[in-house]
Structure 1
Amino acid sequence: MARNVFITGATSGIGEAIAHAFAQNGDNLILIGRRKERLEAVQAELETLYQATVWTYQLDVTKVDMVSDICQKILAEVEVVDILINNAGLALGLEKFQDYAVEDMLTMLDTNVKGLLLVTRQILPQMVESNSGHIINIGSTAGIYAYAGAAVYSATKAAVKVLSDGMRIDTVDKNIKVTTVQPGLVETNFSEVRFKGDKQRASEVYQGIQALQATDIADITLYIANQPQHVQISDITIMATKQATGFTIHRES
């Protein structure tokens, strides 16, 4: 039976790859993102490639009232969300904490933590009422291993891990699963966003190592969601073969 899978940040990178993986699996997709034209393009591609049922909603997860309105609209129109994948997130800059732009700090907190909180708070009560559901939160190895220039980003991803643990505790008496996925170095537009469009600097992040791809994380996310009801994968950390911790990386010259 097709599940209704709600994916935040679905217009690029890992979120878009996850949408493809679940659509190919025969699931229905509820996609949200800030860019209407990208949502429509992803929807058209999924419908063409997989004949998937796809709903799209333009949404900025940092806006409290907007999240409430759109999530309630989704619950009214789609009725049931079986899987919520909180993927929306970003890093901005790579400066020492004392030199960081406050605006960038707050944007990371608002998107990576506040956005996850707001969306989950709207969707989880329906899962509790139906005694069924799965929340998959996309964290990062940065939440385990802080690295230079990423104090705030690392803190936001540590928060994702702890929030997931707390949600799992609070729903332990329900048939609800909560999973944290913690990818390492994944070659997407992540670094281009971090460096505000500097393609050259972004490309250097992935030089000398065969980085993970968005499809790798998507495949693992689908695997997590396809486990039997009695099997809950609470946490999973994925790194490239030549990545040992967050930024302990062997690069070929």
Structure 2
Amino acid sequence: MSSKTFTLHCIFVLCLVSLSEEKLKKVKIGVILPMTGNHPWTIPQCGPAIEYAIDTIRKTPNFLRNYRIKVSYKDSQCSQVAAPHAAIDFYVEKAAHVFIGPACKYAVAPVARFSFKWRIPVITAGALVSAFKDKGEYKLLTRILGSYAKAGSFVMEILNHWHWKAVGMIFNDIVGDNSNAGKSNCFFTLEPIYKALASMHGKKPWHLNFDESKTTVADYESFLQTASRNARTNQRMRHILSSATVRM
């Protein structure tokens, strides 16, 4: 084979490869998660699982044939500013048919609001706050884990089973000088329980919030003493006081 013939043969093969690649449809996945930080869903933690899932799809015969999956990553910084900026970049670059993430509650909220206008679904393992169930506001948001509301239903089942009606809540929250940081996970976890109790009994349950970064051992003792006066039925209190009197 002459060098000219060989060259033409290589060009023909390259053209065939190029044409075959053009026939492949692309599925573009935009991952918006924090790169660092104390979060259960950072890119170093979730990235290998995403790549494994894609590799499994590629190795599965007749599944998504003629499709090529491309994954791109952007750092959400778990921020309500950085996350929507990352989503906008994906949209402008036409680099995503679907978003995985964000997961942090304040980061996912603006992205999930915009996504309907862009026709880009959002799949997240976060967004556990009850407000995200509003499909009028978060139309293309899919949460793959149970929400805080589910945990609230579970706790209410326990309370109803044992006929417990006097319930108090003590929880860590971001208060005082740190209030600009938003509410804590403890707040959002107890929120559906609080609302369910208020609806059931027609009054707000007793609760006390504190900032664990500024709390001492003496403070916790005071919290428990306050709780004992507010989260027990009168009958239970009489029983405790009677028992204490007998021991004296």
Q: Same fold (TM over 0.5)?
A: no
Structure number with bigger Rg: 2
Greater relative contact order structure (CA < 8 Å, 6+ sep): 1
TM-score by length of 2: 0.34
Tell me the TM-score normalized by structure 1: 0.33
